[in-house]
Chain A
Amino acid sequence: MESKGYLWTRRSVGLVSLILVVATVIYGLWITPPDVIQGNLVRLIYVHPPVAWVAYLAYGVTSIASVLYLWKRTRNIKWDLLAASSAEVGVIFTGLTLITGSIWGRPAWGVWWTWDARLTTTALLFVLYLGYLALRRVPADNHRRATRSAIAGLVAFVDVPIVHQSVVWWRTLHQSATVLNSSLSLKIHGVMAWTLLLGFIAFTFVYVWMLMHRYEIATIEQEALDAELEQLLEERQHESEIELAEDVLGDAQVDQPSKVY
């Protein structure tokens, strides 16, 4: 796992992530102009939609990995570990989406929170994937855990398109999509649009970097658990052999006729 190539790739992704995030911060805070209505509040847009996108991406990866685990031809515990790792990162980014949205909402809307369809379905998404992670903590053998987690991950993913389309299907306080709208017409232009794109790329790199780390840890954990199991089995086998040897020896002593002097 920890080959030189992998290590180099991971560190490169980390370095690129750092550079891109710093560039996003510089552009977002100092180079982009204020919005005609929102003023400086607009600067949060360079973070909020990108982290929401990363959450979608993370759950997408979880779903694909779950399908690959459920499909017998591609079944491998690595897909399960990848699904779990991506879901964990996704939960972090969903949390960040809710927090940054709330920070923007207080001065812009006038409230920290409201029960509109976008906010409610996003909170639901957060809790659904917390449930996915909680389900993984329920002790079970690898295959059973992976199978039920994969099913849970796929069920939870149903909420992702609902979250995205909620502003179209229902009336909401939350605005409609600025970039990924039905007409694919950008509602942001110039340096503001480029900075938003930079934010999307930067946080996608951060996601990849976090996923690589988390997946590596998950793999090491799995290997440690498997090694532990093998050691336990060896110990048990050794104990059984000793017990068997003692039994055989005992039987031999019983069967052997006593000598009379």
Chain B
Amino acid sequence: MTTNAPNGNNGLNRPSSGSSLPKQRGLPSKTKVRRAWAAVGVIVLAIGFLLYKGLGNSLVYFRTASEAVREKAQLGTSVFRLEGVVVPGTIHDTKAGVDFAVKSKNVSVEVHDTANPPQLFQPNIPVVLVGHFSGNIFLSDQIMVKHSANYVAAHPDRVATVNGKKL
């Protein structure tokens, strides 16, 4: 096998079909080169977009309930993500969605949500909410359930439930 032959082609493109030589031989056309570089350019733009979105969203993905209460004056009515554990006994269905409270480090925040909660939404589960403060109430229009890394088999005797249904 020739190792460093200047064949002007890449390693993973299609082989020439049959025994006859392909129509385009020798050096690649300018169009082919431009097209390949254009594809690389599109990828570079996509990388830039992901970095922009990542830096804008990922670095401080959420504030815990205790942090949000502490920084409430600074946050004002700006939209941010709030994280906390759903407090048992506070969930009340409403016409628009659901009212409940979330807690972190013994600081709780009342939540008025206007979106349908996900199917895993239940007491004692960590959630991330998208919304803003209105007075002391957090107005949320999106609930995301933050599942833990633990996986535990449901046991019939332990009466494990999801949305009130026995597994």
Partner-B contacts on A (CB < 8 A): 32-39, 41-42, 45, 76-77, 80-81, 84-85, 88, 107-111, 114-117, 120-121, 123-124, 127-128, 130-131, 133-143, 145-146, 166, 170-173, 175-178, 181, 187-192, 218, 220-226, 228-232
* A252 to B: closest C-beta gap in Å: 32
Interface residue B70 (Cβ < 8 Å from any Cβ of A): no
Q: For A33, what are the chain B residues with a Cβ–Cβ distance below 8 Å?
A: 153-155
A196 → B minimal CB distance (Å): 8
A-chain residues with CB within 8 Å of residue B51 when the two chains form the complex: 124
Q: Check B128–A173 contact: CB distance below 8 A.
A: yes
**In the complex, residue of chain A having the shortest beta-carbon distance to the beta carbon of B121:** A110
Q: How many Å from the CB of A58 to the closest CB on chain B?
A: 14
Residues of chain B contacted by A110 (CB below 8 angstroms)? 117-118, 120-121, 142-145
Q: Is the CB of A116 within 8 A of B57?
A: yes
- A sample of 7 more A-B contacts (CB under 8 A), given A42-B151, A172-B61, A190-B153, is A37-B152, A38-B147, A38-B162, A110-B120, A123-B50, A124-B50, A178-B149
Q: Would you list the 6 A-B pairs with minimal beta carbon distance, nearest first?
A: A110-B118, A115-B57, A141-B6, A131-B43, A139-B28, A120-B54
The segment from B31-39, B71-79, B131-139 that touches chain A is B31-39
Query: Which chain B residues (1-40) contact chain A, with CB distance < 8 Å?
Result: 1-16, 21-22, 25-28, 32-33, 36-37, 39-40
Chain B residue with Cβ nearest A132: B43
Q: How many residues of B contact A (CB 8 A)?
A: 71
Contacting A at CB under 8 A, from B54-69, are 54, 56-62
CA distance A187 to B147 in the complex (A): 13
Check: B96 CB closer than 8 A to any chain A CB: no
Instruction: Check B15 against A225 for contact (C-beta < 8 Å).
Output: yes
Pair B7/A228 contact, Cβ less than 8 Å: yes
| A138 and B33 in contact, given A39-B154, A110-B145 (Cβ under 8 angstroms) | yes
* Residues of B near any A CB (own CB < 8 A): 1-16, 21-22, 25-28, 32-33, 36-37, 39-40, 42-44, 46-47, 50-51, 53-54, 56-62, 83, 117-122, 125, 128, 142-155, 158, 160, 162, 167
Which A residues lie within 8 Å of B145 (CB)? 108-110
CB distance from B8 to the nearest CB of A (A): 5
Closest to A125 in B: B50
Contact of B25 among A123, A176, A222, A228 (CB under 8 A): A228
Q: Which A residues are CB-close (under 8 A) to B117?
A: 110
Asked if B25 and A223 make an inter-chain contact with CB atoms under 8 angstroms apart, the answer reads no
Is B167 a contact of A34 with CB atoms below 8 Å? Answer: yes
Quick check: A142 and B5 within 8 Å, CB to CB? yes
Given the complex, which residues of B lie within 8 Å of A224, measured CB to CB?
15-16
Q: Is the CB of B40 within 8 A of A138?
A: yes
A146 to B11, CA, bound (A): 9
CA distance A222 to B147 in the complex (A): 48
Cβ-neighbour of B11 out of A120, A145, A187 (below 8 A): A145
Known contacts: A77-B1, A128-B47, A222-B1. The answer to whether A35 contacts B154 by CB under 8 A is yes
CB distance from A101 to the nearest CB of B (A): 12
Bound-state Cα–Cα, A119 to B117, Å? 21
Asked if B62 and A223 make an inter-chain contact with CB atoms under 8 angstroms apart, the answer reads no
Contact A114–B144 (Cβ < 8 Å): yes
Q: Which residue of B lies closest to A177 (CB)?
A: B149
Asked if residues A35 and B15 are in contact (CB atoms below 8 Å), the reply is no
Q: Is the CB of A127 within 8 A of B50?
A: yes
Which of chain B's residues has its CB closest to A106's CB?
B118
Taken together as a complex, chains A and B put the C-alpha atoms of A128 and B27 apart, in Å, by: 28
A70, chain B: closest CB distance, angstroms: 14
For A166, the chain B residues whose CB sits under 8 A away are 58
Q: Please name all residues of chain B whose beta carbon is closer than 8 Å to the beta carbon of A117 when the two chains form the complex.
A: 54, 58-59, 61
| Complex alpha-carbon distance, A37 and B152, angstroms | 8
Residues of B within 8 Å of A109, CB to CB, are: 118, 144-147
